[in-house]
Amino acid sequence: MQNHDPIMQAICRRTFLDRSRVGLGAAAVWSLLGRGQVAGAESKRPGLIEPLHHAPRAKRVIFLCQAGGPSHLETFDYKPKLAEMDGQPMPESFTEGQPIAQLQNNELRCFGPQRKFNPHGQSGQMISDVFPHTAKLADDLCIVRSAQTNQINHDPAHTFMNTGTQISGRPSMGSWITYGLGSESENLPGFVVLTSVGGGQSQPIAARQWHSGFLPSRYQGVQFRSTGDPVLYVSRPEGVAAGPQEDVLSAVSALNRLRQDATGDPEIETRIAQYELAFRMQRSVPELMDISDEPAHILDLYGTQGGDGSFAANCLLARRLAERGVRFIHLYHRGWDHHGGVREGVAKTAGLVDQGTAALLTDLKQRDMLKDTLVIWSGEFGRTPMAQGNGRDHHIKGFSLWMAGGGIRGGMSWGATDELGYHAVDNVFHVHDLHATMLHLLGIDHERLTYRFQGRDFRLTDVHGRVVKPLLA
Amino acid sequence: MAGRSWWGMAACLFGLAVSSVAADEKVDYQRQIQPLLARHCYACHGPDRELQENELRLDRREDALESAITPGDPSASTLLERILEDDPELRMPPPASKKPPLTDEEIDLLGRWIEQGATFTEHWSHQVPARVAPPKSGGWSRGPIDDFVAARHKQQGLTAASAADRRTLVRRLSLDLIGLPPTEGEVDAFLADTAPGAYERLVDRLLASPHFGERMAVYWLDLVRYADTGGYHGDNDRDHAPYRDYVVEAFNENLTYDRFMREQLAGDLLPDRTRRQQIASGFNRLNMTTREGGAQPKEYMAIYAADRVRNTGSIFLGLTLGCCQCHDHKFDPYTLRDFYSMAAFFADVQETLVGIQKPLLLLDPQQTQRIHDLEEAASAAQSLLDGESAAWDAAQVRWEAEEERSTELVWTDPAQLQIASQAGNTFEQLEDRSLLALGDRAASDTYVLEMPIPPKGLSAFEIELFPHATLPKQGPGRAGNGNLVLSEFEVWRDGERLQVAEAVASHSQSGWEIAKTIDGDEATGWAIRPKIGQRVTAYFALAEPLAAGAEGNLEVRLRQLYGSGYLIGRLRLRTTDAAEPLEAIKPTLPYKAVYDALAQRSDGRTDAEKKLLRRHFRGIAPETEGVRTLIRDAGKEKKTIEESARRVLVTMAREPRVVRILSRGNWQDESGEIVQPAIPASLGTIEVAAGKRAGRLELANWLADPQNPLTARVFVNRLWKLLFGRGLVNSLGDFGTQGTPPSHPELLDFLAVEFVESGWDMKHLLRQIVLSSTYRQSSDTAEGQLDEDPENIWLARQGRFRLDAEMIRDNALALSGLLVSRIGGESVRPYQPEGYLAHLNFPQRTYQADQGENQYRRGLYTFWQRTFLHPAMALFDAPSREECTVARPQSNTPLQALLLLNDPTFVEAARALALRILEQGGDDDRAKLRYAYRRSLARDATDGELEVLEQLLAKHRDHYRNHESEAAALESNGLWQTPEGVDLVELASWTNVARAVLNLHETITRN
C-alpha cells in the first residue's frame, strides 16, 4: 500500500473537505480509511477526532438500557407526599395540557409509592428495596432524579434516547461515538449490542436503535446473540471444517489480490482486509462468548453460569467486551413496562437486573477499569404518579437514571421532581444533556462532533444539550 | 458611513490576495458568492424569518440592496464595513454565532462581486432547464452526451478511457439494466455478433426484458420507502405487494414518467380510473404507521402528514423540506407555511391513525359475482330462519318444556343478610335485594356478608353483579372504567374457613379467570372487561355442602385487593342446596340470558326474552339445520374467496382534514393558521378555479409540468447515478443551495429537456445514456486514474461499484441455476437465522422460511420487515425504508464476508453451481475451472487464478476423501437436494471452489 499513500492523502483531503459526497468515491475513501483500522497497524487511534477536543475521562461506555420505562417512583425517587395522597384525585395543576398515553380520558388518581425506600451508603442516597445489590454501591452512583424526554410511546422514546430525535434515519449514540473515537479492538466491532428479557411486558425493540443512520454502516451496532450464532453468520456452514474454511478464505484473498493488481481497484484491498477481520472474528467471537475461563467467584458475583441470555450473563459479557477494547456496549433489558402490578412487577424485573448490574460495577472497579468506563443505567422514560389500575402509565416529564465511573462523581444526587414525582423541577436533565455530558466525558465537544447530510451539519444533540459539570468528578 | 479610503486600505492590507486573482475576472454568484454567504451569514440573515437579525436578508437581492450592499461600490456597502470592522463586538459574523470569520480571499471576492454590480442569479435548480447546443468534439463522441463530457475532459486535461472489452460490456449492461448476470450463452452470442448494431441489439433486448422492471423497481422502492410492515412498535404486516408489482409493470411497459407520478399520487382521482391506477395510489400509504396502545391519534396525524411532505419533497423534487416542519429553512427559500401547505395536499387520504390499516381486496369479476350471489342466498335463508313458522314454533314449545325440567336449580335469597365493608363503605339495598355501594370508595376493600346457615342446607353461592346508573360507565365495578377485581372469595363458618371447591362465571376477562378467586393468591383475581354495563354472574361450590339442619353463622368475604378502586359496585348474593349445583349451571353459562328467560314462566316473559328464546332455539334446533347449513356454507365460501384474494392498501379520498400550521412542529398547538394545499411559494402557485381546492392530482400535474425546473433534472440525475455510480449532481437528495452543484450542468439540462420532450420516456433516456461512449468506457484504474480524478467527477472512465444487496442474491442464484424468475406476487421469505425477530412483540413472530419455489425468488421480493430487515439485505446496505433513500451507502464490512461465506443461501448456491460446473464445465479440471470463471464473471481466468483454484481443489479432494461425513453434511445447507448418483466427495470439493468464486470481490462488483 506504500505506493498508494499519495492517493490516499489526496482522497482524504478532498473527503474531509466535503463529507457530503456519499457516492462511490466517498464510500471507497471510507473503506480506505477503514483499512488502517482493520489492519490495526498504522493508526494510533482510528477515530475521526484527532486530537480529542479535551482530555477524556472515559474511554468507553456501557449503557444499561432498562427498556419499557422503569418506575422512578418505585426505584430511585422517594415521594412521601404521593403516599399521603394515595387514592385521591391527581391535582389538575399537574396534568393539565400534558401529553398522556394509555390513561387518556381516564380518571387520574394518585398512586402512592409501592416500595420501601432507605438511605444507603455514606452519601445516604434514597434507593428502594428492589435493588439490594446496587444499593450497596450507592457511593459510586450519581443518581439523576430530574431526567426528561420528549417521546411518550416506547418506540419513538427509544429512538429519541438513542439518536436525539424521533425521526428515523439518524445515527444512534453508539455509532456517533465509534465514528468519533473509533474502536480499540482489532478483532471485534466497536459498538456491540446485547439484549435480555423478563419481569414484565416486553415491548419490541427495533434494529434502528443501534443503526448508524447516515453515518457509514461500519459504525452500526453489531448484535451479539445468546442463541444461535452469537454474531450473525459467524459459524461455519455444516460440512466445512476449520481447515477447509481457512483454505477458501486464503483462495479468495489470493484471487482478490491478483485482480487488484490487474485493475488497480483499492476497494479490493479493503475487501481483503474485511475477510481477514471476518476470519479473526470466527475465533474472537466464540472466545469472547465462552466464559469457561471465568473463575467461580466471578460467576457467583454476577449470579450467572452464563450462556443463558440473562441480563447478568450480558453484564459479564459487557465486562469482557470492555476489556477487549469495544467502545460502546449497549445492553437492553426488555421488561419494565408495568402498566399493572407495579409493586410486584418492579421487584421482579429489578431482581433480574440488580445483581448483574452491581457485579459489573464491582468487577470493573476491582480491575481498575471503572475509572475510565462510563456506566449509564436508564430507561426510555419513567412512569406516572397516577394509578393505572395497580400499575403506572408512561411518563416523560420526570424520571430517574444513574451514572457511574468514567469521570462521574459518585455518591451524589442531581435534580429533583416535584412533591408528587410528576415534573422535573430542579436542575432538569434532558436526554440531550445526557448525550452532551456523555460525549464530554469521552473527550468530545458535542457541538463539534458533526456529520454533513443533506446540506446540514447534524449532531447527536441536534441544537440542544448542555454539559452538566457538577456531575463530573 | 466610512469614506472610500477604507476599501483602498483593505485592498492594501490584502494586496497579495487581490493581486493573485485576475481582478477583472467575472465573479460567479451561484458558485462563489452564494455558498459563501450561506456559510457565514444565512444562519442569521437567511431565509428563516424568525432569525433575521435587523430584518436583513442576504439571500434576496431586493433585501440586501436596501441597506447592506451598494452595487458597484464596495466601500459604500455596510456588508463589507461590518465584516472588516475592528471592534470585535461589531464585526460580522459575531463570535456568538459560532460561524467562521471570512478569509482574506473571501472578502476580496465579495468586494469584487459588489464592484461588478452585485448580481444575484436564481439558484441553478430553480431555473427552467434549457437545451444548450453541445460543443463539437472529435471522433470519440457518439453524440451530445459524449460532446458535453469530452468538453470537460479537455478543460480538466483528462483523456477518456478506452472502451471496455465486450465481455465487460455485456456483463455491465446486463447488471445495470436487468440486475442479472448474462448467461455464458448470452456472452458468447454477443461476442459472435460482429454485425453492425450488435451493441444496440443487446441494449434493446435487455430493455425489453421483463426483468428490466424488477431492476428499476429496486431503486424506485427505495425512494418511495416501500416495505411490507408498519415500522413502528410491533412492526405489524401491511398489504402492499400489489403496489410493488405495479411498479415492476410500469417500468416494463415504459409508462411515461408523468403518468407514473400521476397514478401514484392520484390514481384514485383519475377519471375512469382502472383497478391498476387505484393500486398505484397505494403510494400515499407507504409511510410508517403505528398500532401502539396509548399512542395519540392526533400526534400520529401530524407525524404522517410530515412524513408525506418530507418524502414527497425528496422523491420527486430533491428538496429537503424536513427542516420546515419546525421553522423556515435556513438556506433554501422554503417556509414553515410551505411545509403545512404541502401537507394539506394529502389531507384527504383515508387512513387509520393508530391501529390496523384496512386493505382493499383485489377480487376478479367472477369472485365479485360469486360473493354477491352468496350474500343474496344467505340473506334469503336468514329471513326464512327469522320468519314465522308454525312448525318451528311447535317444536320450540316441546323444547322449552324439556329444558325447563333440566334446569330446576333454585336460588334463594338468604334470610337475614348483613353486609359490612372493612374500609367503611356503606350500602343501600335495592328492590331486587341487590346491594349498591355508596360513598367514597377506598382503593382496596373487603366486603363481609354475614348470614345464618339456611335451614335446608347450602351447597353453592351465586354472586350476581348488576350495572347501575350511579356507577362509572354503569358499573358493575366502581373503577373508572366500570371494572372490578375480586381477588379472593372466602367462606367462613363461625370463624372457621370452609373450602370452596370450584368457581365458574358467566364471563371472565382474559387473564382474570374466576378460578383465580379461590387460588389463595392475592395478586390474582377475577375481572369482567369487556362486559361493562352488563350483568355478570359467578358461582362458588363448597367442597363439603352444609346439610339441612346445620346450624351456625356464615361469613362470605369478598376480598378486593387490586387497588385504585377496582371494587364491586352492585351485587346480590343467593344460595342453593342442590346436589352438584355447578354441573347444572355449566352448560347454561354461555347462554346465560337464554336460560334466565327460560326460567321465567312463559306468560311472564318480555318481548325481548321471547325473541331471544326463539332465536336461540332456531339456532340449535335439528328442524332448522338445513337452512342454517346453507347460511354457514355461504359464509365459509365467501370467507375463503376473500382470504385467497390479494390485499392492498390504496388511497381513498375523504373530506379533507383541517391542516394548521404547527408552530415548532408542536402537534398539541391548535392556534396555528389553517392552510390550503399549495406548493412552496418560491416555486410558484397552482392555479385552480375560484372556490376550488388544489388536490393531489393538481400536485401531480404541477410536477409533470415541463416548466417545473426540478422534476426532470432530479429523475435523470438518478438514472445517471444507476449507470455510473454517482450523479451529475452528487447530492441526489438535495438540489438546494446546500447540495453540490452539477459537475456537467449543460449535460444535466440536455438530458432533462430531452426527457421531457420525449414525452417523459424512461427507456429512451436510458438507451441514450448506455449507447454513449462515456458509458462504454473501461473502469480500470491501474494507470493512475485515481490520482487524476479519485471520485470520477469528470467521467474519464466508467464507475465501478458493488452490486446492490438484492442483486448480490440474484447473481448467486442465477449463476447456480437455482433462480426462479417468476415475476410479482406476495413477498417471500428466504432462509434467515433463527431468533432474528426475537425482539418483536404484539405478536411474537416466528419466521417460516419459504419451502418451494419462493425460496429462490429475486431479492426484490424479500419480505421487507422494517424494524428487522432480512440480514442479507441489511448487511449489504439495503435501507429499512423508513424514509426515502436516494442513494444507498456502499459499505465494506466483515459481516458481509461472514454472510457470503456462511449464509445457507450462498452455500446452497455454491453446491448447485458446483454440480453445474461438474456437468457442463468440460472434461478436465482446468476446463471446468475456466468454465466456472466464464459463467461467474463473463471472462476467462488467468493462469495465476487457475493455479490458485487448482490448489484449493486438490487439497479439498484430499480432505473430503478422508472426511466423507463432512461431504455428506454439506448437503444440509439449503433445501436443494443433490441428484442421485453424484459423487459427494467430488461435489464437496467443487462446492468450496464455487464458494471461493461467489465470494470474490469481482463477483459482487459491477465494473
pLDDT at residue B920 greater than cutoff 90: yes
Q: Quick one: A29 and A130 in the same domain?
A: no
- Are the CB atoms for B475 and B466 separated by under 8 Å? yes
Q: Which residues contact B588 (CB under 8 A, 6 or more apart)?
A: B407, B594, B595
pTM, full prediction: 0.82
Domain that holds residue A9: 1-43
Q: What percent of chain B has pLDDT over 70?
A: 97
Q: Quick one: A110 and A34 in the same domain?
A: no
- Tell me if A252 is assigned to some domain: no
Number of domains chain A is built from: 2
Q: Quick one: A133 and A7 in the same domain?
A: no
User: Rounded to an integer, what distance in angstroms lies between the CA atom of residue B315 and that of residue B322?
Assistant: 13
pLDDT at residue B17 greater than cutoff 50: no
User: Rounded to an integer, what distance in angstroms lies between the CA atom of residue A180 and that of residue B539?
Assistant: 67
User: Rounded to an integer, what distance in angstroms lies between the CA atom of residue A415 and that of residue A215?
Assistant: 34
Give A-chain residues touching B743 at CB under 8 angstroms.
Answer: none
pLDDT tens readout for residues B353-375: 999 999 999 999 999 999 999 99
Res A144: pLDDT: 98
The percent helix, strand, coil of chain B (3-state, each to 5) is 45, 10, 45
Mean pLDDT over residues A179-204, rounded? Answer: 90
Q: Which residue of A has its CA nearest to B331?
A: A455
Q: Quick one: A320 and A412 in the same domain?
A: yes
Partner-chain contact A34 B892, CB within 8 Å: yes
Res B406: pLDDT: 60
pLDDT at residue B558 greater than cutoff 90: yes
CATH number of the domain encompassing residue A173: 3.40.720.10
ipTM entry: 0.81
Q: What angle do CA B973, B975, B977 make, to 5 degrees?
A: 90
pLDDT at residue B263 greater than cutoff 90: yes
Q: C-alpha cell of A395?
A: 411518563
Mean pLDDT over residues B96-115, rounded? Answer: 87
Residue with the larger pLDDT of the pair A267 and B181: B181
Partner-chain contact A207 B833, CB within 8 Å: no
**B2-30 burial, b for 16+ CB within 10 Å, e for fewer?**
eeeeebeebbeebeebbeeeeeeeebebb
pLDDT tens readout for residues A101-160: 888 777 899 999 999 999 999 999 999 999 999 999 999 999 999 999 999 999 999 999
User: Rounded to an integer, what distance in angstroms lies between the CA atom of residue B193 and that of residue A309?
Assistant: 61
Q: Quick one: A369 and A445 in the same domain?
A: yes
Give B-chain residues touching A29 at CB under 8 angstroms.
Answer: 790
Partner-chain contact B725 A24, CB within 8 Å: yes
Give B-chain residues touching A152 at CB under 8 angstroms.
Answer: 294, 296
| B1000 → closest Cβ in A153, A256, A266 | A256
Q: What angle do CA B622, B627, B630 make, to 5 degrees?
A: 125
Indicate the pairing of strand B435-438 with strand B426-429. Answer: antiparallel
Q: C-alpha cell of B648?
A: 392492498
**What is the torsional sign of CA A317, A319, A323, A324?**
positive
**B532-562 burial, b for 16+ CB within 10 Å, e for fewer?**
bebbbbbbbbbeebbeeeeeeebbbbbbbbb
| Nearest Cα residue to B145 out of B800, B1007, B780, B775 | B775
Q: Is A110 an 8 Å CB contact of chain B? A: no
Which uninterrupted H or E stretch holds B241? helix B241-252
| Nearest Cα residue to B906 out of B957, B859, B961 | B859
| Nearest Cα residue to B752 out of B797, B722, B707 | B707
pLDDT-derived band at B14 (thresholds 50, 70, 90) equals very low
pLDDT at residue B54 greater than cutoff 70: no
User: Rounded to an integer, what distance in angstroms lies between the CA atom of residue B652 and that of residue B310?
Assistant: 21
User: Rounded to an integer, what distance in angstroms lies between the CA atom of residue A298 and that of residue A290?
Assistant: 14
Mean pLDDT over residues A187-196, rounded? Answer: 94
Q: C-alpha cell of B694?
A: 388544489
pLDDT-derived band at A24 (thresholds 50, 70, 90) equals very low
Mean pLDDT over residues B306-313, rounded? Answer: 96
Indicate the pairing of strand A191-197 with strand A328-334. Answer: parallel
The structural domains of chain B, ordered by start, are 5-121 (no CATH), 125-162+710-797 (no CATH), 364-409+594-644 (no CATH), 415-577 (2.60.120), 902-1006 (no CATH)
CA distances from A59 to A40, A328, A372, A374, A432 (A): 18, 9, 5, 8, 20
Partner-chain contact A222 B875, CB within 8 Å: no
Q: What angle do CA B268, B269, B270 make, to 5 degrees?
A: 100
Mean pLDDT over residues B323-329, rounded? Answer: 87
Q: Quick one: A169 and A92 in the same domain?
A: yes
| B999 → closest Cβ in A7, A27, A252 | A252
Give B-chain residues touching A261 at CB under 8 angstroms.
Answer: 782
Give B-chain residues touching A22 at CB under 8 angstroms.
Answer: 730-731, 887, 889
Q: Which residues contact A300 (CB under 8 A, 6 or more apart)?
A: none
Q: Quick one: A21 and A62 in the same domain?
A: no
pLDDT-derived band at A19 (thresholds 50, 70, 90) equals very low
Mean pLDDT over residues A386-398, rounded? Answer: 93
pLDDT-derived band at A47 (thresholds 50, 70, 90) equals low
Q: Residue B509 forms beta bridges with which residues?
A: B512
pLDDT-derived band at B442 (thresholds 50, 70, 90) equals confident
- Are the CB atoms for A468 and A446 separated by under 8 Å? no
- Are the CB atoms for B703 and B316 separated by under 8 Å? yes
Residue B690 — φ and ψ, nearest 5°? Answer: -55, 135
Secondary structure (DSSP) of A328-343: EEEEEEE--B-SS-HH
Residue with the larger pLDDT of the pair B329 and B568: B568
Res B12: pLDDT: 46
Mean pLDDT over residues B605-616, rounded? Answer: 87
* Distance between A264 CA and the closest CA of chain B, angstroms: 4
Q: Quick one: A9 and A131 in the same domain?
A: no
Partner-chain contact A25 B792, CB within 8 Å: yes
Res B408: pLDDT: 61
**What is the torsional sign of CA A98, A102, A105, A108?**
negative
pLDDT tens readout for residues B630-659: 999 999 999 999 999 999 999 999 999 999
Secondary structure (DSSP) of A178-215: HHHH--S-SSS-SEEEEEEE-SSB-----GGGG--TTS
- Are the CB atoms for A67 and A335 separated by under 8 Å? yes
Indicate the pairing of strand A399-404 with strand A191-197. Answer: unpaired
Mean pLDDT over residues B963-988, rounded? Answer: 97
- Are the CB atoms for B254 and B762 separated by under 8 Å? yes
Q: Quick one: A325 and A192 in the same domain?
A: yes
- How long a stretch of residues is chain B? 1007
Residue with cell 395543576: A93
- Tell me if A244 is assigned to some domain: no
Res B239: pLDDT: 95
Of A32-41, B460-469, B526-535, which gets the smallest average pLDDT?
Answer: A32-41
Q: Quick one: A28 and A139 in the same domain?
A: no
How many DSSP H helices and E strands does chain A contain? 13, 17
Q: C-alpha cell of B226?
A: 416501500
Question: Across all residues in chain B, what is the average pLDDT?
Answer: 91
* Distance between A121 CA and the closest CA of chain B, angstroms: 33
| A31 → closest Cβ in B733, B736, B892 | B892
Partner-chain contact B780 A248, CB within 8 Å: no
Q: Classify residue B162 by its DSSP letter.
A: P
Q: Quick one: A154 and A18 in the same domain?
A: no
Mean pLDDT over residues A182-204, rounded? Answer: 89
Q: Which residues contact B624 (CB under 8 A, 6 or more apart)?
A: B385, B392, B618
- Tell me if A287 is assigned to some domain: no
Res B46: pLDDT: 83
Partner-chain contact A7 B787, CB within 8 Å: yes
Mean pLDDT over residues B751-758, rounded? Answer: 97
Partner-chain contact B781 A264, CB within 8 Å: yes
Give A-chain residues touching B973 at CB under 8 angstroms.
Answer: 237-239
Q: Quick one: A404 and A359 in the same domain?
A: yes
Residue with the larger pLDDT of the pair B603 and B465: B465
Mean pLDDT over residues B299-321, rounded? Answer: 95
Q: What percent of chain A has pLDDT over 90?
A: 72
- Are the CB atoms for B130 and B746 separated by under 8 Å? no
pLDDT at residue A422 greater than cutoff 80: yes
Question: Across all residues in chain A, what is the average pLDDT?
Answer: 88
Q: Which residues contact B431 (CB under 8 A, 6 or more apart)?
A: none
Q: Is A229 an 8 Å CB contact of chain B? A: yes
Res A21: pLDDT: 29
| Nearest Cα residue to A67 out of A363, A446, A331, A463 | A331
Res B391: pLDDT: 93
Cα atoms in the Cβ-side hemisphere of radius 13 Å centred on B378: 15
Res B581: pLDDT: 84
Q: Which residue of A has its CA nearest to B782?
A: A264
pLDDT at residue B88 greater than cutoff 50: yes
- Tell me if A366 is assigned to some domain: yes
Chain A contact probe: residue of B48, B237, B292, B564 with most A CBs at under 10 A: B564
Res B405: pLDDT: 64
pLDDT at residue A8 greater than cutoff 70: no
- Tell me if A321 is assigned to some domain: yes
Res B66: pLDDT: 83
pLDDT-derived band at B4 (thresholds 50, 70, 90) equals very low
